[in-house]
Every structure is written in C-alpha cells, then in structure tokens.
C-alpha cells in the first residue's frame, strides 16, 4: 500500500483549510482570539509525519503542562521532544523570552497600580513558574505609580527568611511613599500561611515608623494569586 500523501498529513499551516489556518485567523480576528496551541503552531510552522502542526502544538502544551511548563523546560528537554529539534526549540524559547522581557520592561514605563490584580498580573508569568520562593517589593510614589521593582530575597523551595530592614532600605533609597510585597509559592497554591500573615504584620508596623505605607501583600501561585488585604489578613 502506498504511504499517505503530504496533503493527507497536512504537515504545514498552508496544508490546512483556509478557515482553520492560525495565521489567517490571527489576521482577521486578532492574536487574542487564538488559543495557545494556535499561537504556538504559527511559531512552529510545520508538523511531522502523521501529525499536523496544530496537533503537534496541542500535544506539546499537554505534555509540558501549558505555557508555564514550556517556559520551565530546558533547551535540551524540548529539543529532544518528538516533533521538535534545535530550530523549533529556539523559536519557542525566543518567543517566551520576548514575553518575559516585555513584562520586566513594564515597571520602567511608569505603570500605575490601582488594584491587587495590577501588581499580580505584572509579575505572575515570571514568578508563577519559579522553583524557589522569592520576595519582591514594588515601590510606589504618591499616586501609586511604580518607581521600581526590587528582588529582596530568593530562598529555597520551602521558605524565605525575611529581614524587615532590607525591605525598607530599598524603599528609602528610592524615596517610595508606599510598597506592595509580592512573593510566590513554588507549590502553585497561593493560600497564605500563618507565617505569611505574621511577617506581613511586622512589616506593616515597621512601615508606620518610617511613614511608608504597606499597601498589600500579594502571593502568587500557578496562574492565580491571593491579596492578603482583600482577605483581611494582617491589614
């Protein structure tokens, strides 16, 4: 029996019906209308024998646990995956890095924090996939525009030891009027621990002495977050 033809495999985006092609859908409806698999398919451009590019993208996201898993995977891990290789892995890693740099560039554009979600969304993509606990402080002016985002501590996978003086040293140096604490839970569950609440209370009290408002403490998990202020914890 003769092997299936290339058209039966639909190896590339061009082989797909026009109404299903991710690039055409992006052109007509905008990038926000596309699924993660469709956006990834545009990057990869072609599939492999027996698996079109959209199926390949869907499988890759499923095997790796979505975009966070892709971001965490090493270059060697991805390049050894069926259907990928050095070229496709390079494209994926480059796209993810551009997205990460865009988020990191945002604070320098003087973003204004109006609610906990503003602070969480700014850092969730990056901090939500960290394997170690990390504490960052968002430094704000009188109108809650961001002056800077500083990393205070990076701990092990279970705990971070926080010295209150280090937090306010950064705030005083930048002439910040208010701060927002942000840290991640590597487990992916952003539920505050009793220690999180106790440490927040200490930091709030120290801020009062220095006339620097602690506006919130946001804990980031896997694609979700918790605001201690919204939950009435420590505030």
Domain holding 42: CATH number?
1.10.150.20
Same domain, 85 and 16: yes
Domain count along the chain? 2
Task: Give residue 157's pLDDT.
Answer: 47
Residues 84 and 122 reside in one and the same domain: no
For residues 41 and 128, state if they share a domain.
no
| Residue that is last in its domain, among 69, 103, 137 | 103
Distances (CA, A) of 66 to 36, 37, 57, 129: 8, 9, 10, 11
Residue after which a domain boundary falls, among 78, 103, 128: 103
In a domain, 41, yes or no: yes
Please tell me whether residues 15 and 80 are part of one structural domain.
yes
Instruction: Assess whether 96 and 117 both reside in one domain.
Output: no
Q: What per-residue confidence (pLDDT) applies to 8?
A: 42
- In this structure, are 134 and 77 located in the same domain? no
Determine the structural domain holding residue 13 and report its residue range.
6-103
How many CA atoms, within 13 angstroms, populate the side-chain half-sphere of residue 166?
Answer: 12
Distance CA 97, CA 115 (A): 27
d(CA 42, CA 39): 5
Per-residue pLDDT of the chain in tens (235 residues, 90 and over written 9): 444 444 444 456 666 666 678 888 888 888 878 888 889 999 998 888 888 888 899 999 999 888 888 888 899 999 999 989 999 999 999 998 888 777 666 544 668 899 998 898 888 878 888 888 999 999 999 999 998 888 888 875 445 567 788 889 889 988 999 999 999 999 889 999 999 999 999 999 999 999 999 999 999 998 789 999 999 999 8
Q: How far apart are CA 234 and CA 113, in angstroms?
A: 20
Domain boundary among 103, 125, 156: 103
Query: Does 1 fall in a domain?
Result: no
**Are 93 and 117 members of one domain?**
no
Q: Quote the pLDDT of residue 34.
A: 83
Q: Residue 160: what pLDDT?
A: 55
pTM of the model: 0.60
Residues 77 and 180 in one domain: no
177 exposed, middle or buried (CB, 10 Å; 0-12, 13-18, 19+)? middle
Distance of CA 72 to the CA centre of its chain: 11
31 phi and psi, to 5 degrees? -65, -30
Angle at 43 between CA 130 and CA 25, to 5 degrees: 115
């Amino acid at each position: 029996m003769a092997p299936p033809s290339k058209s039966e495999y639909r190896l590339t985006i061009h082989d797909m019906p026009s109404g299903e092609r991710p690039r055409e859908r992006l052109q007509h409806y905008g990038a926000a209308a596309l699924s993660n698999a469709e956006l990834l398919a545009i990057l990869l451009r072609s599939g492999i024998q027996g698996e079109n590019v959209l199926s390949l993208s869907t499988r890759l996201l499923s095997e790796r646990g979505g975009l966070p898993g892709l971001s965490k995977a090493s270059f060697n891990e991805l390049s050894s995956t069926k259907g990928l290789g050095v070229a496709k892995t390079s494209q994926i890693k480059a796209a993810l890095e551009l997205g990460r740099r865009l988020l990191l560039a945002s604070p320098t554009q003087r973003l204004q924090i109006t609610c906990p979600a503003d602070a969480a969304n700014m850092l969730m993509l990056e901090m939500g996939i960290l394997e170690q606990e990390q504490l960052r402080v968002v430094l704000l002016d009188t109108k809650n525009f961001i002056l800077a985002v500083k990393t205070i501590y990076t701990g092990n996978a279970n705990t971070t030891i926080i010295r209150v003086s280090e937090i306010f040293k950064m705030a005083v140096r930048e002439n910040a009027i208010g701060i927002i604490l942000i840290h991640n839970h590597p487990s992916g569950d952003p539920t505050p621990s009793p220690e999180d609440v106790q440490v927040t209370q200490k930091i709030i009290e120290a801020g009062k002495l220095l006339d620097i408002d602690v506006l919130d403490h946001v804990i980031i998990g896997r694609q979700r977050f918790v605001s201690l202020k919204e939950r009435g914890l420590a505030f």
